[in-house]
Structures are given as C-alpha cells and as structure tokens.
C-alpha cells in the first residue's frame, strides 16, 4: 500500500486531504482510482488507512477507515544522534542509515578535528539533510520525520546533555568499556539517549573528558576502527538490540 506523510492539520472529520507533490504523485504517477486504499502518517506516530473518495483539481480527499500507532516507532527508546560533520556526501549517508535504524533526531556538530568547512553552504546543506531524513523516514515507514538540526559545536552539545537519561560517546581510544558494560551498571532502562560520534579525525582526549564531565559514558564499538559513517548506525543497532520493545 502506498504511504504518505501528512501534517496533522490535513486530517479532520474522518477525512484526510492530500495536495501538492503527493497529490500529483497519486493522481498522475500512481493513477489511484476511487476506493483505492492508501496509508497516511501524521508524522506524530499514528498511521491511518484511507480510501480515495473525491479527486479535485489540486487535492483529493480520502475517507479514514482505521488508525493505529506507526509500527516504525517505539515508546521505549528515543535516540538523538550527534554526528561530527564528515566530508563530502557522507553526512547524507549517515542520516539515511540512522533514520532507518531509528534515530529520533540528528544534530551535526563541528569539533577540534573537523576537516570540512561549510561556510555559506551551511543553510543549503541543512535543507538537503532534512530532505534526506524525510525520504529515509518515508522509505523505512517511520511514524515521525526525524529532525535534522542546524550545525552546532561539540561544546554547545555538551551543554544540552542534561536532557538525556543516558549519554554515550563512541570513542575510538576506549579499550575497556562497551555498551554492554555501561548497561550492566544502570539501574533503570533509559528512554532518551544521546549518541555522540566523532568526525573522520576522531575525538581529542579533552573532548571525551568534557562529555564525561557532562555525565556521558565513553564506549568502544569493538576491536576495529569503523568509518565515521558506519559508527552511528552500529551503535544504534546495539541500542535497538538491548532496548527496543
Ligand atoms: N578515519 C576513519 C574515517 O575516515 O571515517 C575512521 C574515523 S573514526 C576515528 C570516527 C568516529 O567513529 C570516532 O570518533 C568514534 O566516534 C567512532 N568510532 C569508530 N570506530 C570506533 C570504535 N572501535 N570504538 C568506538 N568508536 C568508534
């Protein structure tokens, strides 16, 4: 069944209104007829099954037949990925894979060993990254569209970490502690988790110390050094294994 994101305001009185690009796609590309079923998601974790009822010039209305919580979301886990901005197109790959793996939001940051210089391209890049998150959310049947924040700095990130139940900094120099070790010391199941991944050059020890002072745990992702674009998705997969219901 074809699936579309709509805003909550497009759902009213048992009807969903679809316009814009999705309307064109449904009528011109998919050529869906009256009574054909579509799935829409309000971007807040609820899916609706609707059948096409009336097709106008610029919009169509679908009658909602049923609603249910989006299968792509869980209440038990909400992970924010803080990602050191990598070179070239790699951030797009990070966003795509981490949205598929369940990240609830993504915050790109610069740090001591960041190589890339965004300059005046920053705004354009952020818009492009938000589009990548939207496409990945659609493809992977997420119930929300993960937000991609504007680029910040690692020091600014450190100031926001109070908002999380658990903060993990994946550190390539960590030889002792794994996620499993950290979890075995916790006396609760964390829901809001921050995951911090370094850029290609990794983290300076002082940066790791700064995150630890802010309450974070440094974790190893194993014996091998992963590419920056691999590390986030690996840590998300580990968290899903332990916590996703
Ligand atoms: N030079 C490679 C690149 O160009 O992508 C490797 C970069 S690695 C230093 C980048 C980040 O991935 C690290 O700062 C860390 O957050 C994470 N990472 C990679 N391998 C790791 C490991 N074995 N344990 C913990 N974190 C790791």
How much distance in Å is there from the Cα of 228 to the middle of ligand 1?
A: 5
Three-class secondary structure of residue 164 per DSSP: coil
| Nearest atom, ligand 1, residue 221 CA | 24
Domain extents in the chain: 3-69, 78-243
d(CA 223, CA 95): 25
d(CA 227, CA 85): 13
How much distance in Å is there from the Cα of 242 to the middle of ligand 1?
A: 22
| Nearest atom, ligand 1, residue 227 CA | 5
How much distance in Å is there from the Cα of 19 to the middle of ligand 1?
A: 43
Instruction: Give the class (CATH, top level) of 3-69.
Output: mainly beta
Q: Quick one: CA dihedral 104, 106, 107, 109, positive or negative? A: positive
In this structure, the strands spanning 37-41 and 3-5 are parallel
How much distance in Å is there from the Cα of 94 to the middle of ligand 1?
A: 13
Q: Cα separations (Å) of 99 from 111, 208, 217?
A: 23, 25, 23
Q: What is the pLDDT along the chain (245 residues), one digit of tens a residue?
A: 899 999 999 999 999 999 999 999 999 999 887 788 999 999 999 999 999 999 999 999 999 999 999 999 998 999 999 999 999 999 999 999 999 999 999 999 999 999 998 888 889 999 999 999 999 999 999 999 999 999 999 999 999 999 999 999 999 999 999 999 999 999 999 999 999 999 999 999 999 999 999 999 999 999 999 999 999 999 999 999 999 88
In this structure, the strands spanning 59-69 and 15-19 are antiparallel
Contacts with 25 (C-beta within 8 Å, 6 or more apart), sequence order: none
Query: H or E stretch including 197?
Result: strand 192-197
200 in Cβ contact with 83 (< 8 Å): no
How much distance in Å is there from the Cα of 37 to the middle of ligand 1?
A: 45
The CATH architecture assigned to 78-243 reads 3-Layer(aba) Sandwich (3.40)
* Nearest Cα residue to atom 7 of ligand 1: 200
Q: In DSSP terms, which residues pair with 192 in a beta bridge?
A: 78
Residues with CB under 6 A from ligand 1: 170-172, 174, 197-198, 200, 202-203, 220-222, 224-228, 231
């Amino acid at each position: 069944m074809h699936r579309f994101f709509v805003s909550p305001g497009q759902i009213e009185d048992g009807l969903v209104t679809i316009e814009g690009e999705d309307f064109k796609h449904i009528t011109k590309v998919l050529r869906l007829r009256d009574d054909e079923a579509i799935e829409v998601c309000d971007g807040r974790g609820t899916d609706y099954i609707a059948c096409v009822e009336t097709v106008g010039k610029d919009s169509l209305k679908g009658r909602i037949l049923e609603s249910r919580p989006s299968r792509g979301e869980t209440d038990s886990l909400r992970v924010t990925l803080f990602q050191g901005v990598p070179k070239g197109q790699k951030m797009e790959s990070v966003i795509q894979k981490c949205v598929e793996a369940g990240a609830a939001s993504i915050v790109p940051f610069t740090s001591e060993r960041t190589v890339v210089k965004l300059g005046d391209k920053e705004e354009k890049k952020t818009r492009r990254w938000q589009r990548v998150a939207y496409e990945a959310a659609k493809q992977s049947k997420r119930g929300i569209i993960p937000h991609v924040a504007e680029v910040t700095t690692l020091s600014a990130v450190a100031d926001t970490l109070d908002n999380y139940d658990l903060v993990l900094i994946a550190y390539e120099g960590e030889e002792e502690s794994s996620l499993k070790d950290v979890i075995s010391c916790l006396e609760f199941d964390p829901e809001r988790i921050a995951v911090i991944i370094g850029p290609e050059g990794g983290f300076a020890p002082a940066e790791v110390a700064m995150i630890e002072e802010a309450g974070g745990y440094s974790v190893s992702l194993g014996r091998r050094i992963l590419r920056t674009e691999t590390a986030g998705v690996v840590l998300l997969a580990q968290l899903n294994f332990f916590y996703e219901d």
